[in-house]
Homo-oligomer: A and B are copies of this chain.
């Protein structure tokens, strides 16, 4: 038995690729347009970790993509949590839970999917502006 992917639905495929790839750093592995079913699937993964994927499902007919409480988040280990959060913030992404402890942060995708970022290995030393940055919203 092997984990393949977590599927999330997305309303805007370009905004989602911008978030997951350009900002977060995942890469697109493959894409499949289904004309008959009127949907597009895009598979993403962290570079070098292609066996654990995210499947984005974009239904061409608009639908409301609210969140539920049974799903929590997707979690990734990152090499430098400060550098990544700075890149995300500079790109306009709200850091809902800033990495005050040099260890953990949360952001949300355009469709409200919560993403946990965890510093690989030991926590980094506390550092401005992160150490005093308050939470924003929920995650």
Query: Which residues of A pack against B, CB within 8 Å?
Result: 1-10, 25-26, 45-49, 51-53, 55, 57, 63-79, 111-113, 116, 118, 120
Contacts and interface: CB of A to CB of B under 8 A. Distances in A.
Contacts of A3: 45-46, 49, 52-53, 74-76
What does DSSP make chain A's interface, helix, strand, loop or mixed? strand
Contacts of A10: 70
B71 A8 contact: yes
Contacts of A63: 69
CB-based closest 5 A-B pairs:
A68-B68, A7-B72, A3-B52, A71-B71, A1-B46
B72 A8 contact: yes
B111 A4 contact: no
